[in-house]
Amino acid sequence: MPVNLPLADELALVFARLSGVLLSQETVDTSLRLICELAQLTLPDSSGAGVTLVDAQGSRTTAASDQVAERADALQYELHEGPCLTAAAHRVVVRVDDIEHDSRWPRWARAVQPLGVHATLSSPMIAGDVTLGAIKVYGRRPGVYDADSERTLTLFAAQAAIMVANVQSLEAARRLSDQLKDALRTRDVIATAKGVLVGREGVDQETAFARLVSMSQRDGKKLRDVAELVVRSAVRRRR
């Protein structure tokens, strides 16, 4: 059944900007900061916004639009309770109309009140079957969020989850590429060092490699570092 979307034009603009992040190949950190800024703009009665990412080990990385949102998030992690953590853990939208009179997370509610936030809305960020975390906005006054706000943030979170998943994949591919390049460079310098020892000492390839390993263990250095020293010494001798 189709839903009459609130702020349709604004959401279309937001989603276009989110897609633009992919094209510019931003990092996860910068993407999260942009998501926070856009979430706050999408729900204009919000005083701030934050994103929580949860990995397989349960560790969290966050981004926030301001220090208040950052502290409100940090209190959830410190106290191990709060609406955003519930949204991520149970994959549900969580709305708090008045934090002062909400009894679901009493320790967090008491701790967050001095920050001046009075309402909050959290939506899980899900990509495929994977829960990446949750996004939340904090309200300037009680009762600023309603059913339309829930639908808006749910749509926003879905788009943001796709973007974050894609950016994470890009970063993982870059890391893998860098590791592969580094492994190839290590292989090449070790092969060159073995060639130096074969030519200089008249040993075979296997013995040359054993020599490098022995030097590495003796000097407490990485095998690649030892190989580079051998290659550099050969270059100096030629001069």
Residues 48 and 114 in one domain: yes
Residues 229 and 127 in one domain: no
Q: What's the total number of domains in the chain?
A: 2
Q: Containing domain of residue 95, as a range?
A: 8-174
Which of 174, 189, 209 is the last residue before a domain boundary?
174
Query: The whole model's pTM is what?
Result: 0.68
Residues 43 and 149 in one domain: yes
Task: Specify whether the CB–CB gap between 155 and 77 falls below 8 A.
Answer: no
What pairs with residue 62 in β-bridges? 52
Residues 93 and 210 in one domain: no
Kindly give the confidence (pLDDT) of every residue in the chain, 239 residues in length, as a single tens digit, with 9 standing for 90 and above.
344 444 555 565 665 655 555 445 456 777 788 889 889 988 989 999 999 998 766 767 689 999 999 999 999 999 999 999 999 999 999 999 999 999 999 999 999 999 999 999 999 999 888 899 999 999 989 999 999 999 999 988 988 888 888 777 776 666 666 677 777 788 888 888 888 888 888 888 888 888 888 888 888 888 888 888 888 887 777 66
Separation in Å, CA 237 to CA 143, 154, 203, 232, 233? 79, 67, 19, 9, 6
Residues 90 and 134 in one domain: yes
Residues 158 and 225 in one domain: no
CATH number, domain containing residue 195: 1.10.10.10
Whether 1 is covered by a domain: the verdict is no
Whether 52 is covered by a domain: the verdict is yes
